[in-house]
Structure 1
Amino acid sequence: MVKHHEYVQRTLEHKQAFSLKKFFFQWEWVLILVFLIVLMINSNLSPYFLSINGLKDATMIFLDKAFIVFPMVMIMILRDIDISVGSTVALSSVVMATVYNSLGVPMEVAIVICIFVGALCGFINGLLIVKFKELSAVIVTLGTMILYRGIAYVILEDQASGNFPEWFSFFGWGNIGGIPFILILFIIFAIAFTLLLHKTTFGRQIYAMGNNDTASRFSGVQVDKVKIIVFTLAGIMAAITAIFLASRMGSTRPNVANMYELDVITMVALGGISTAGGKGRMLGAIIAVFIIGYLQYGLGLINISSQSMLIIIGALLLIAVAIPKVNLYHTFERLKEKRKARTRNK
């Protein structure tokens, strides 16, 4: 019987000779080019865009939702999706504010409760998906999206809750050595999740499951356990987002983080994560975070309405999903062969 680590190594770690040409024909280089184009366009649209302080301050505005991107990459590699993350953010923040203001719980404990609520929401998602395999992840998380948001409305109705201690605002607006705290934490999580996905057995199991769930199960991968862990991570990161969002706004209410799932899924899809599962790298999604984030920031500087931004983000999502994630190197080689064939025919 083929051992799991041997199966994974043969299917996922097939080593090839390094090719400089192949290296530069990767999707991430296209994203870097798009990122530079976004910077150039925004700098022409607004003279206030291209400044070091402005670019740093912008990260405080858009990086909160980016924490959800990390586990969403794993979920989409598994050929699943989680559209309840925005509702998880809302419920986690509402519970945190309520236990602090209504129950008198210390803010430090309220933050821990917030993370626990997010983890619980993610765990429920994962458990339902593995227990009811006849239901797709989109159906399950659609139901929990409505459920979690509904519970948040039951708790606070249509009211806001804030009055957080002064030190809590540091999460959203604080700096360490002139660098936004949220950017520092984002970099730490980016490194951690990149190593988890690309350098550990757990990450190799995720890729194996995305390529062939059944084969992974027969090769010894605990498929259900891996899915529950990944969805629980999504809930935890949604709770981290809730903390930063509540800190930045100074309050929370049940309708916060509305349409966050659209931004997150767009970032992941644009980052080159295949919707068919089993393909993609964390780096692409990280670059896409800054493309979408600075695009929205630049459009905001010239007073583009939020409705127009939704149209733009929706269009980007369609483009990212509709355009096949082709291997640019192989495409270039095929075009070169066709040119050679035409030359020979002449």
Structure 2
Amino acid sequence: MLETVQRRGRISRVGIARATGLSRTTVSSLVAELLAEGVLTESPGDAGRRTSTSGGRPATPLTLNPDGGGVLGVHLRHAGIRVLFTDLSGGVLGERYRALDVDHLPDDALAYVADTALDLVAAAGRDAGRVFGMGVAVSAPMQSRSHTLRTPSVLADWSGVDIAARLRERIGVPVHVGNDANLGALAEWTFGAARGADDLIYVMLSDGVGAGLILNGRPYEGATGSAGELGHISVIDGGYVCRCGNRGCLETVIGARGLTSAFAHTRGPETTIADVVALLAADDPGARRVVADAGHMLGRALAGICAMLEPRLVVIGGEVAAVGRTLLDGVRDVLAQRLPPAISQGVTVTTGRLGDRAEALGAIALATHSTSAHLLTP
């Protein structure tokens, strides 16, 4: 129910019942408890402008109460950490980012997360007792039921590390862990470019490459939690060795490092994604070629997925998405060439709206949904 309110922004009790399939009696009971807890709030100012379909009492819309509490969200990237503190509606109350070799420094990474989370809550002047949970987005496949890292993990130094338990002990709130691409999809679906779309693919192009799926209005993780590992599809025989141990994975070609390494000969090894964006703005032919090729490569990887799943929307997010239209046009061109018109004409390719915050905001959404039961526990 909270997920429905979060995604719709504001919705009546009747609307919640229709969207969730819950009975009106159940919805009324749950709403009463959440209103009493201060998690939901009514918007009586809108009631006079709304009419009941039965001619009775106007439906009063409900929203998540921004003052009702807070949620923490974390994105453990391969090379950095983002920590967000938001109110229940997703409004950002505090944010910090630190560059760090997360892959090889699990103890340092978790210590930074715990200390920073507590600092953000204190700096926002919020009651620590009203922080309902923390979500953590991790750049690795997860076990679908336990939400722990798959073993063996592409993050070798994190094997055996219980992220949720370690942070729960330090911070004292429920902690829920998920794959970052899956949570990026959840974020864009809940807060961003994919609101209202029930079938979509979110592609995260950053240090790594991953995909998150929303199918038939629900997140889809696969039988074991590894659905969407787009970056580890082999696309070049005998290519560079990937962190997963295979050669020629898509990540080694269109991930941030793979993309910028194409400029090492002409621009030097320190080229960044921001440099590539600047070169595109200056209409540099080499940058156009490299980014267009990356779009074509991504389009080929997506074509088979789109043919099988027929999504309405493909959302491109992550750091590399900043290169913009040239990349998207490359994806669109290949999908138009390789998909039947009946499918390709129904697929929209767009950039995400949440930028670098997407995965951390997805962790916020995960924590909001996963900890809601604690609010109703007697």
User: More strand per residue: 1 or 2?
Assistant: 2
Q: TM-score, normalised by structure 2?
A: 0.26
* Structure having greater relative contact order (Cα 8 Å, sep ≥ 6): 1
User: More helix per residue: 1 or 2?
Assistant: 1
Q: TM-score, normalised by structure 1?
A: 0.28
